[in-house]
Structure 1
Amino acid sequence: MSTPNLNFAFGNFNKICSTVPLTLCPLVGTTDGIEPICYSRNVKLADTLIFEPSTLIIHIIALVMTSIMIYHIRSKYTAVGRKEIVMFFYLYMLVTIFDLLLISGIIPTASSLYPFFTGAHVGLISATFWCLLLNGFVGFQFAEDGTPMSLWSIRISSFVVFGAVAAVSILTFQNVSPFSSTSPVALWVIFFIFNGAAFLIYVILQVVLVVNTLDDRWPLGDITFGVAFFATGQVILYVFSLDICIFAKHYIDGLFFGTIATLLSVMMVYKYWDSITKEDLEFSVGSKQNVWEVKELLGDDEMAGGGLYGRGAGNSPASGPYGQANYYEERY
């Protein structure tokens, strides 16, 4: 087994994978992959070794929290961009499920299926960032939200990104020319530059949207916290993971805190979207306004003779003891 160069270099994961156990690390660098210098302790459960148990717990919490956020988004029936933003959270949920299966060792690295699941996982990560980027344009109303054009443009393009990135990943893991697992430059560019650019552009778009469109500046706080959580998670994950693992005596590593920070940043995406969208109360308010309009159109003699809510007499439109029956029959 050859030992990879652990110095940081553009286009390889050697330094990164020696610090943090990413799902693709067993498949790049050398023929046997790259093992982290320090990693979280594993536990034995029903004759099965579970790796990163602390991170596994955070993944389960993330799935619960994402389900709650999706429920609240779907319950805001008339909110702008509801159907578009919920796609992002569905994709994040899929990323979390794949991460849970691969990081924990439920799908072992020795399995022939591991490269394909990992390729799908990397593809889902890029599709999630791409979906977030496109959601950044929804508020500008280039295409009316909720329309087939808006929805299917996000769905189809996200699926194309997923398929392309998954294909590049699998071809890299399988050393299919011109891709190589020992020099995964294309995969590195996708993983860090493409995904990072999508996130950065989304943030810029939302700052422009709030400053130019909204009177309220509080959503900028949500954006700031979201960026802070995400950036902090990336720094902990790729810079301090080894130090944390050694200090904590292998009980936790940077992946644990990185997963928490990612979950918090996703929650801030929801908080930001919720703060800039209001439900349209047109139906409930409109019916009340129409009632008042009918009352204003009644003549003085009708009001004096029982009118809208008095006891009907003669040709009065009211027939019940309080006059409601015929009013609602005629109104609706």
Structure 2
Amino acid sequence: MRYGDFLSLCQRSPLPVCRLFGDVVLPTCHLNPYEAGDAYFVNLPDFVISIIALLVTLYLGFRAHRRLDAVEIALLLTLFSVCLVLNIAGADFIYVSTVKANRIMADGSFASILSIVVSTAIVFIGFGFMAADTAFGISSGLKPKPSDPFYSPGLFTMYLVFPLVALVVYITAQSIIVVKYLAVRLPLIWLFSSLVCFAVAQVLLFVASKKICTGSNGKIDGAFFATLLDSAAVFCIYGFWTSITEDDTEEYEGGFKY
């Protein structure tokens, strides 16, 4: 597979980004619709798990307000809730990756919030324009050539490579800060559990989706497991956050050390 070529990826995996190239390339294994009266659900398992994940996310957001410095985790849960709502609605959505490179800044401080908002806006606007330009040829600079309609190295970098770089930076920065400045180890279990969930989700989505679809006779594919494990990864990040923050109903006595 060439760097920047989406053809083989779109044939193997039900990626939302593939719709930017039109309906000329679809996964080689199609899901069979579920019938409920006059209604048809193309991917009912993913629909159901998205609703459950959304309810859990809303509950965690409610729980988060009991703790100090809850602004950043609230932003994360809000963004993830938006992604789940769009997934439930059947719409394509953009993965927004933000890197909080320095947790030494007070969580919830103006500088901390500004860094998240600005980085998120830059990624969202940049990726949004790149996606629109790829699909509609706004500037005629990113739209694939007719001779190579699925080749888009810029979109490939932004959609697949950048999130991995952001993830590595985040995991590395958080590990150093937790070990060096907080001198604790238990939060790392949450952090690396999140990493494992995310990694397995990508393997099932990009590598095993076709086999899952074929083996289940078109009843389920890798998207279901990706939603399930991506949700678990976010919930583990919540667990990581609770293990390094204070509960405002209790007096902090260094109880997070392990």
**TM-score of the two chains, using structure 2 as the length reference:** 0.88
- Pairing 1:150–2:112 present: yes
1:73-95 deviations in Å (ceiling 9; x for gaps): 1222xx23x10221111111111
1:225/1:45 Cα in 2 relative to 1: closer, same or farther (>3 Å)?
Answer: same
State the 1:23 CA deviation: 1.5
Contact 1:21 1:39 in 2 (8 A): no
1:214/1:27 Cα in 2 relative to 1: closer, same or farther (>3 Å)?
Answer: same
Q: Distance in 1 between matches of 2:19 and 2:188?
A: 40
- Alignment equivalent of 1:88, drawn from 46, 67, 76: 76
Contact 1:20 1:237 in 2 (8 A): yes
CA-atom RMSD in angstroms: 2.1
- Quote the residue 1:330 is aligned against: none
**TM-score of the two chains, using structure 1 as the length reference:** 0.69
**3-state DSSP of counterpart to 2:25:** coil
Identity over aligned residues, as a percent? 26
Summarize the alignment of residues 149-298 of structure 1 with structure 2, pairs less than 5 Å apart: 149-176=111-138, 177-181=140-144, 182=149, 183-280=151-248
Letter aligned with residue 10 of structure 1: Y
1:284/1:238 Cα in 2 relative to 1: closer, same or farther (>3 Å)?
Answer: closer
1:105-162 deviations in Å (ceiling 9; x for gaps): xx6xxxxxxxxxx4xx22xx12xx11xx22x52x222xx3322232233223312321
1:264/1:282 Cα in 2 relative to 1: closer, same or farther (>3 Å)?
Answer: closer
- Quote the residue 1:71 is aligned against: 62
State the 1:283 CA deviation: 8.4
**3-state DSSP of counterpart to 2:40:** strand
- Quote the residue 1:39 is aligned against: 30
1:234-253 deviations in Å (ceiling 9; x for gaps): 01111111111111111111
Q: Distance in 2 between matches of 1:227 and 1:154?
A: 21
Contact 1:27 1:33 in 2 (8 A): no
State the 1:281 CA deviation: 6.0
1:174-195 deviations in Å (ceiling 9; x for gaps): 1331112422221111011111
Higher relative contact order (CA 8 A, sep 6+): 2
- Pairing 1:15–2:8 present: yes
**3-state DSSP of counterpart to 1:24:** helix
State the 1:223 CA deviation: 1.3
1:201-222 deviations in Å (ceiling 9; x for gaps): 1111111012102232111111
1:15/1:215 Cα in 2 relative to 1: closer, same or farther (>3 Å)?
Answer: same
Contact 1:23 1:99 in 2 (8 A): no
Contact 2:11 2:27 in 1 (8 A): yes
What is the count of residue pairs matched by the alignment?
A: 247
